[in-house]
Amino acid sequence: MADPRAPRRQACAAADELKSNLDGEFVAVRDFIAAFCRCMDYVQHARMLVVGYPWTPDVLAITNLVRPRAPQPPLPSVWHGARV
């Protein structure tokens, strides 16, 4: 005989896992935004806030626009001299 509470338990477990994933994503985005803002000086940060007023600028969208124009970082030293 199947447990009639099994679907409810599965739904609760899925909700708990979803909450955990969202909490982890929130922390990752918050830390990324903090690191992004530390890369700017006060004037750049102020300009970003003024241009975005009355909304907060979307730092992730800004990063997606800037990243293709940024120089690529060098490969780690482990790769130098490696055969491909």
Judged against a pLDDT cut of 70, whether residue 5 lies above it is answered with yes
First to last CA, the chain: 59
Judged against a pLDDT cut of 70, whether residue 75 lies above it is answered with no
Domain-by-domain residue ranges, the chain?
Answer: 6-69
Average pLDDT over residues 16-39: 90
pTM of the model: 0.57
Average pLDDT over residues 67-82: 64
Q: Tell me the two tokens of residue 53.
A: 């007023």
Alpha helices in the chain (DSSP H): 6-38, 42-52, 59-66
Tens digits of residue pLDDT in 29-74: 889 888 888 888 999 989 988 988 888 888 888 888 877 776 776 6
Average pLDDT over residues 10-30: 93
